[in-house]
Amino acid sequence: MKRFSTSFQKMLGVSLIGILKCPSLMIARYGPIHPHTAPKLGYSSFVQLGRPRGVEKMQDRIEIFLGDITTLATEAIVNAANNGLCGGGGVDGAIHRAAGPKLLEECQSLGGCPTGDAKMTQGYNLPARCVIHTVGPIWRGGSHGEYEALASAYRNCLELAKKNAIRSVAFPSISTGAYGFPKDRAFRIAFQEISKFLDQSKVPEKVVIVCFSEDDYSRYTEAITEIGEADPKSREL
């Protein structure tokens, strides 16, 4: 684990804990960040760092954020919704509460959303301008198309972001809560699909993967490290 000089840490305005290099991947972990230091880390246009306990940075376009997705000012955030787009528990409920009642009103006009698909609304009271709603699969043992449905959810969100020229988008962990998708597998699918899409498209310019818990944060970084140590061209699960 490489340590950086005090002068370099002062230049960033943060406590840089360390950096881990993989064949096609660079992961850097930062200590607590004050909002005034955000521009120095490239967050000036979209990320409000009020509650995070750490940030992981991979390459230039993908980041892991430990904190509350409803506080982020990316141009869009992704909601792990249900088929009826009627709000619910977990991140879905948190986004609806933060956005206010007008979000539900617009969602009710969309006619629901099939599993693996995505639809977009305004962000209303959220810092994010838009919300991309997607429905991940319910885990039924892995033999009912769950892997492809989850991959499709990530791809369709990114396609919708590209279609609407959205430069920055934040994802929660889709399907790993009440829907029961195994986290380690879900995290690998998420990173694989996001990486593949960004390899082929310049938009969105930035993708933030949001982890709400320390456990998710640790599992995500472990999964990404394993992928980075494998063949960087294949990124196979």
Q: What are phi and psi for residue 118, nearest 5 degrees?
A: -150, 145
> Is 8 domain-assigned?
no
Contact (CB, 8 A) for 133 and 113 = yes
> Is 162 domain-assigned?
yes
Other beta carbons within 10 Å of 187 = 24
Domain that holds residue 137: 62-229
> Is 196 domain-assigned?
yes
> Is 30 domain-assigned?
no
Contact (CB, 8 A) for 181 and 90 = no
CA distance 28 to 58: 7
In the set 68, 92, 117, 216, the catalytic residue is: 92
| 117 annotated active-site | no
Q: What are phi and psi for residue 42, nearest 5 degrees?
A: 85, 15
> Is 54 domain-assigned?
no
CA distance 170 to 132: 10
> Is 219 domain-assigned?
yes
Q: What is the block-wise mean pLDDT of the chain (237 residues), using blocks of 10 residues?
A: 31 28 32 32 31 46 94 97 96 98 98 98 98 98 98 98 98 97 96 95 96 92 75 41
Instruction: For residue 73, give the CATH number of its domain.
Output: 3.40.220.10
> Is 51 domain-assigned?
no
Contact (CB, 8 A) for 131 and 72 = no
Token readout for 154 is 């990530």
Burial of residue 21 (CB within 10 Å: 0-12, 13-18, 19+) is exposed
This prediction's pTM: 0.76
CA distance 22 to 114: 37
Domain count, the chain: 1
> Is 18 domain-assigned?
no
